[in-house]
């Protein structure tokens, strides 16, 4: 069905299409009896898919990446697609509008997106309100946290701590986002000294709770090897649960989209098929240089079940999708879970 709806959705501006899609899904969910039908159509259930990581039980290893549902408004709707976990955010202490529109662009020739959203969200208090009324059931929820645009990097730690404390009772794990290219100066927080300070303070607060939560770091695909080595040292020293690899890229080499169109679009982070190879490389390097209990969530360029298996073969324990969902439709989750199930059955 999605192949018939896709041309219509792609006739709208990307943000408008996103709003229409989630609104319609939410409306359909309220029709009696339709929820079970939609879940049955899109989900793929098997005990073989159950995955235990970070002290959490995932009904399957396929998650929705941060950015799709920043404010936690559509968790109940998106769970119908069969995700094992959903990551909300990136959230900041205060509501902020993000960058000026247009700020989200499709590159159909490359099955990619360019975005410069800029952490647009309704603020952490609104997210908490939405999560309070959520019936979690067997769904794992992650909270992706960031800093407000107006907050200088020297004060960034406090923004992350505000989000961490307020969300603590409502999410199962946290993700520290210092890798978005769309907040000025944010990526400099990936450097060794500021990153050590940030993660150290978060873990210090985390350990004060009776049951600390897993904290992961989301990194950019554009890091060179020395930078990646520094990050691996810091996350090891700070006893982080894992890494999410990778965020969007600033590299636009090898794209089929015309240079003139790319120039017209301007700045932003690239996601989708073109970053799969780099994400896979980064994941393999992390896996080769971290202990087996260190969790890697692979994201970036997963557009098919084959892509998902490749990312997992390279060392990812769990995966996330976003751009693939836009280009391939809701059945992508089912296709990936089925492929993972068949792979796991073969190894039994």
Asked whether the bond before 18 is cis by omega within 30 degrees of 0, the reply is: no
Segment 42-80, tens digit of pLDDT: 888 889 999 999 999 999 999 999 999 999 999 988 888
Task: Report how far residue 210's alpha carbon sits from residue 240's, in angstroms, rounded to the nearest whole number.
Answer: 17
- Check residues 43 and 310 and name the one with the higher pLDDT: 310
Segment 240-298, tens digit of pLDDT: 999 999 999 999 999 999 999 999 999 999 999 999 999 999 999 999 999 999 999 99
Q: What is the pLDDT of residue 234?
A: 94
Q: What is the pLDDT of residue 29?
A: 76
Segment 167-178, tens digit of pLDDT: 999 999 999 998
Q: What is the pLDDT of residue 184?
A: 66
Answer yes or no: is pLDDT of 21 > 70: yes
Would you place residue 153 in the very low, low, confident or very high pLDDT band (cuts 50, 70, 90)?
confident
Q: Is 107 left (phi over 0), alpha (psi -120 to 50) or beta?
A: beta
How far from chain centre, in Å, is Cα 329? 17
β-partners of residue 323 are none
Task: Report how far residue 198's alpha carbon sits from residue 338's, in angstroms, rounded to the nearest whole number.
Answer: 39
Q: What is the pLDDT of residue 189?
A: 78
Confirm if 85 and 139 have CB atoms less than 8 A apart. yes
- Provide the annotated active-site residues: 180
Span of 28-32, 119-123, 331-335 with lowest mean pLDDT:
28-32
Confirm if 164 and 202 have CB atoms less than 8 A apart. yes
Task: Go through the chain and tell me how many residues it has.
Answer: 348
Q: What is the pLDDT of residue 204?
A: 96
Answer yes or no: is pLDDT of 185 > 70: no
The kind and range of the H/E element at 345 are helix 331-347
CB count in 10 Å sphere of residue 346: 7
Answer yes or no: is pLDDT of 112 > 90: yes
> Six-digit token pair at 117?
């959203």
Domain residue ranges in the chain = 2-347
> Six-digit token pair at 148?
């407000």
> Six-digit token pair at 56?
């959490």
pLDDT, the chain, mean: 92
Q: What is the pLDDT of residue 80?
A: 86
Which residues fall within 8 angstroms of residue 12, CB to CB, at 6 or more apart? 20
Confirm if 291 and 266 have CB atoms less than 8 A apart. no
Write out the CATH class of domain 2-347: alpha beta
> Six-digit token pair at 237?
């020293």
For 264, counting Cβ atoms within 10 Å of its Cβ (0-12 exposed, 13-18 middle, 19+ buried), the class is: exposed
- What is the pTM (predicted TM-score) of this model? 0.93
How far from chain centre, in Å, is Cα 78? 14
> Six-digit token pair at 253?
């080499």
Q: What is the pLDDT of residue 347?
A: 78
> Six-digit token pair at 58?
């995932």
Task: Report how far residue 113's alpha carbon sits from residue 67's, in angstroms, rounded to the nearest whole number.
Answer: 13
Segment 215-241, tens digit of pLDDT: 999 999 999 999 899 999 999 999 999
Name residue, tokens 């909300």: 88
**What percent of the chain has pLDDT above 90?**
75
Confirm if 219 and 179 have CB atoms less than 8 A apart. yes
> Six-digit token pair at 138?
């067997």
Answer yes or no: is pLDDT of 30 > 90: no
> Could you tell me which of 75, 80, 51, 112 has the C-alpha nearest to residue 326?
112
Task: Report how far residue 333's alpha carbon sits from residue 316's, in angstroms, rounded to the nearest whole number.
Answer: 17
Residue spans of beta strands (DSSP E) within 13-139: 51-53, 56-58, 62-64, 85-91, 104-107, 112-115
Q: What is the pLDDT of residue 178?
A: 86
Answer yes or no: is pLDDT of 136 > 90: no
> Six-digit token pair at 8?
């219509």
β-partners of residue 53 are 56
Helix, strand, coil % over all residues of the chain, rounded to 5: 45, 15, 40
Span of 4-8, 69-73, 175-179, 195-199 with lowest mean pLDDT:
4-8
């Amino acid at each position: 069905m999605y192949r018939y709806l896709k041309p219509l959705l792609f006739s709208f501006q990307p943000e408008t299409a996103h709003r229409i899609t989630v609104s319609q899904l939410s409306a359909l969910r309220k029709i009696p009896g339709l929820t079970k039908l939609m879940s049955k159509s899109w989900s793929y259930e098997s005990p073989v898919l159950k995955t235990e990581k970070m002290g959490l039980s995932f009904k399957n290893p396929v998650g929705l990446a941060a950015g799709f549902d920043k404010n936690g408004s559509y968790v109940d709707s998106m769970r119908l697609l069969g995700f094992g976990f959903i990551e909300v955010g990136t959230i900041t202490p205060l509501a902020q509008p993000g960058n000026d529109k247009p700020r989200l662009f499709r590159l159909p020739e490359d099955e990619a997106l360019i975005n410069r959203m800029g952490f647009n969200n309704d603020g952490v208090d609104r997210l908490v309100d939405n999560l309070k009324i959520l019936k979690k059931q067997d769904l794992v929820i992650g909270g992706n946290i960031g800093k407000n645009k107006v907050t200088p990097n020297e004060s960034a730690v406090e923004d992350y701590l505000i989000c961490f404390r307020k969300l603590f009772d409502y999410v199962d794990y946290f993700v520290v986002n210092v890798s978005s290219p769309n907040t000025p100066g944010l990526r400099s927080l990936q450097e060794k000294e500021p990153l050590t300070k940030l993660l150290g303070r978060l873990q210090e607060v985390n350990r004060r709770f009776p049951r600390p939560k897993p904290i992961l770091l989301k990194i950019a695909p554009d890091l060179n090897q020395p930078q990646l080595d520094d990050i691996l040292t810091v996350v090891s020293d700070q006893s982080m649960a894992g890494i999410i690899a990778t965020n969007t890229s600033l590299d636009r080499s090898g794209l089929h989209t015309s240079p003139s169109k790319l120039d017209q679009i301007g700045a932003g982070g690239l996601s989708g098929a073109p970053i799969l190879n780099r994400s896979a490389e980064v994941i393999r390097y992390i896996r080769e240089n971290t202990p087996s209990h260190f969790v890697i969530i692979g994201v970036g360029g997963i557009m098919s079940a084959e892509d998902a298996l490749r990312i997992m073969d390279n060392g990812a324990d769990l995966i996330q999708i976003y751009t693939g969902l836009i280009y391939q439709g809701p059945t992508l989750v089912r296709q990936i879970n089925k492929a993972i199930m068949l792979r796991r059955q073969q190894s039994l």
